Amino acid sequence: MEKTRLNSGSPHPTLLRCRRPPLLRFSLLLLLLCPVIALPAQHRKSDRRFDGGVVLGFNASQIDGDYQFGYRKKGLSGGIRAEAAFSPKLYLSVELLYSQRGAKPQSDPRKSFVDMELDYMEAPILMNFRMTRSSETTMATFFQLGASYGRMMRYKVSEDLFGGSINLKANQSSFKEISNHFSNNDLSLVFGGSVYFSSHLSLNVRGYYSMNELFDSASIPEKTNRSLRSYHLNLQFAYAVLGVDRLRERRRR
């Protein structure tokens, strides 16, 4: 796998070769296998534990430590999804998403700013707990809890620190400089919920909290920069091939 890092302070992109992490390899394998397993299940209505589908939505994100506030950075999020039902009330979902995140300043041109574009490949692994009765197939609601592993594929940092709200001290590095120390890996805690408008179409709303720092100030001990941590909200529509009906049918066996 190759990762391209774009830094507006450097005239040439840097290509870094990196090994695919074990969790990402496992997620890729599961996502490939689940649709294959689900296909014969379409002909066996008594056993529809597996399902697959696609997801598409957008992120609203921010970076804690950049002297800016609010979920101002908007980006797309989309990919594929696999599900494995343990019971009508509980199923496991795994997704492989391309996710655009980062930070964006306020629109006031009189203030200094930092703009970060962070693109990830993400693999959320979630437990889904049904909150409504299994006989209800439309407007069924689920609570979601799990974790997500993200691998940074690209970043770009733009800044204007002359005056305004961001005033770095003499012993602090600029955001362009510390971007060379950004962590390639992101492990996030995920919580949220989903609502089915039909058997196949659902709306998911989630919050992501990064458990590790995007930038650890200890990586530049001679400087006094703040550490950076990523947060983002996700709104997505998901389409399932077999749909939530399969959980009700399996319950009636």
Q: What is the pLDDT of residue 69?
A: 87
Q: What is the pLDDT of residue 42?
A: 45
Q: Check: CB of residue 38 under 8 Å from CB of residue 52.
A: yes
Of 162, 163, 124, 159, nearest in space to 145 by CA: 124
Dihedral sign (CA 167, 4, 151, 233):
positive
Q: What is the pLDDT of residue 107?
A: 74
Residue ranges of the chain whose pLDDT lies below 50: 1-4, 7-20, 36-46, 249-253
Q: What is the pLDDT of residue 250?
A: 45
Alpha helices in the chain (DSSP H): 22-41, 175-178, 245-251
State which residues form the domain around 93. 2-251
Give the separation between CA 209 and CA 62, rounded to whole angstroms. 11
Q: Check: CB of residue 208 under 8 Å from CB of residue 188.
A: yes
Q: Check: CB of residue 239 under 8 Å from CB of residue 201.
A: yes
Q: What is the pLDDT of residue 8?
A: 44
Q: What is the pLDDT of residue 240?
A: 92
- Altogether, the residues listed in the chain come to a count of 253
Q: What is the pLDDT of residue 199?
A: 85
Identify the CATH number of the domain in which residue 99 sits. Answer: 2.40.160.20
Q: What is the pLDDT of residue 10?
A: 42
Residue 74's CB is within 10 A of a number of other CB atoms, namely: 13
In sequence order, the 6+-apart residues with CB closer than 8 A to the CB of 149 are 21, 23, 24, 27, 122, 123, 125, 185, 186, 187
Kindly state the tokens that stand for 37. 């397993």
User: What are the start-end ranges of the E strands in 2-140?
Assistant: 2-5, 14-17, 50-64, 73-87, 90-103, 113-130
Number of domains in the chain: 1
